[in-house]
Amino acid sequence: MFNLVLFGPPGSGKGTQSEKLIEKYGLIHLSTGDLLRKEMKAGTPLGNEAKSLIEKGQLVPDEVVVGMISSALDANPGARGFLFDGFPRTIAQAEALDNLLELKKTSIGAVLFLMVNEDELIKRLVGRAQTSGRLDDADPEIQRNRQNVYKNETLPVAGYYQNQDKVSRIEGEGTIDEIFERLCGVINAKMQTA
């Protein structure tokens, strides 16, 4: 099994690149953002709780997202590997993920960190707002809040994986295909030594 974490600030292209990576490597895509939006659309109690936080640019509680990931891992027993997109977003989530994977006798093979400067991120999210219908994209104040939450709560996760020597930093600006090629180069090298 080979498991990847795609890491980066909001708007860095995690969702965009995940679509291409799962196709190439046959991995199961686990995006907590997508899972939460599905719950919101279905109007479940979990979805309603998530909606009130996401609309403010805040994170959903750790136990909620960890529960979702745990169920998704159990639902895919024969997977070749998982691509975690937008998860973990806190140190507590990273620790919980390590424990869940250990129970399944596997671990994270690589953490790919998409590096994009803040002006470019805001530009992309403003662009996405025009088509996504996502309430967390529409308001510049919420976007600023999301970038702050990222710096305070999510960026330390990179340090957590750095201590395990698993982080590869990848230039996240350029065309979607250029970035995809950079990601594949790193993944291929990691897979050879795994």
Binding site for ligand B4P (CB under 6 A): 8, 10-16, 32-33, 36, 53-54, 59-60, 65, 86-87, 89, 93, 124, 127-128, 136, 146, 175-176, 179
Minimum gap (Å) between residue 192 Cβ and ligand B4P:
26
Nearest residue relative to ligand B4P (C-beta): 33
Q: Is 144 annotated in the active site?
A: no
Long-range CB contacts for residues 124-129, cutoff 8 Å, separation at least 24: 124/11, 124/13, 125/10, 125/11, 128/11
Q: Which is nearer to ligand B4P, 174 or 194 (CB)?
A: 174
Q: Which is nearer to ligand B4P, 97 or 110 (CB)?
A: 97
Minimum gap (Å) between residue 177 Cβ and ligand B4P:
9
Short-list 94, 65, 78, 82, CA closest to 154: 94
Residue tagged active-site, from 14, 37, 51, 182 = 14
Minimum gap (Å) between residue 185 Cβ and ligand B4P:
16
Q: Which is nearer to ligand B4P, 11 or 27 (CB)?
A: 11
Q: Percentages helix, strand, coil for the chain, rounded to the nearest 5?
A: 60, 15, 25
Cβ within 8 Å of residue 22, ≥6 positions away: 28, 29, 83
Instruction: Quote the tokens at residue 161.
Output: 């994986």
Beta pairing class for 167-171 and 82-85: unpaired
Q: How far apart are CA 19 and CA 17, in angstroms?
A: 5
Q: Which is nearer to ligand B4P, 2 or 18 (CB)?
A: 18
Q: Is 80 annotated in the active site?
A: no
Which residues are identified as catalytic?
14, 89, 128, 134, 146
